[in-house]
Homo-oligomer: A and B are copies of this chain.
Amino acid sequence: MLGKDYRGQDCSIARALEVIGERWTPLIVRDAFYGVRRFGEFQTHLDIPKAVLSDRLNGLVQDGILARTADPEHAGRHLYELTPAGRELWPVLYGLLVWGGRHRAENSRIFRHSACATVLDDRGWCPVCGVIPGPEDVVSEPRPGHERLRTDPVSLALAAPRRLLEPLMV
């Protein structure tokens, strides 16, 4: 099995990949930006084996990307939330999203600056306000005309425009 470290590489790209380079990890972090907070919600949206999800969530907690707290509504379960360091991964995810949208298939969602509702450009820049808003000031909604392919509860909850990082109620 391949490890997840890049010990011989003196490069902060390698250091970042040690944190979010594993298969599925970037999509788990994406879902956390969309407000997903519970194990079962990640699972229904990602369709991955519980063991993989559990391994990745534990790694993200250990690496300081997600904070794990007790779920007040479900004894014995947890909530996962992006830490400040985790929130700073937004430019990486947005960069992947833009690249995939330009070169593979348009993204299923669009992203607006919450202050003025302007759609952000490929650099995440709001041309009206002249800023690159942080994820807490970005509203995401399904792209008009994009056929919805998934009908799991998280995908349905994401059908309405939502501010990033706002906890999802499924």
Contact = CB atoms under 8 A, between A and B. Distances in A.
Given A6-B27, A85-B103, A103-B88, A93 B15 contact: no
Interface string A83-97: 001001101111111
Contacts of A79: none
Contacts of A18: 104
A13 B105 CA distance: 10
13 contacts: A9-B46, A11-B109, A12-B100, A12-B106, A13-B27, A13-B30, A16-B96, A17-B100, A19-B103, A19-B104, A91-B123, A92-B92, A94-B95
Given A10-B150, A11-B107, A12-B100, 18 more contacts: A6-B27, A9-B46, A10-B148, A12-B96, A12-B99, A13-B97, A16-B96, A16-B97, A17-B26, A17-B27, A17-B100, A88-B99, A88-B102, A88-B103, A91-B98, A91-B123, A92-B92, A95-B95
A23 interface: yes
Contact of A107 (B2, B12, B64): B12
Interface residues of A, number: 50
A88 B103 CA distance: 9
A19 B98 CA distance: 13
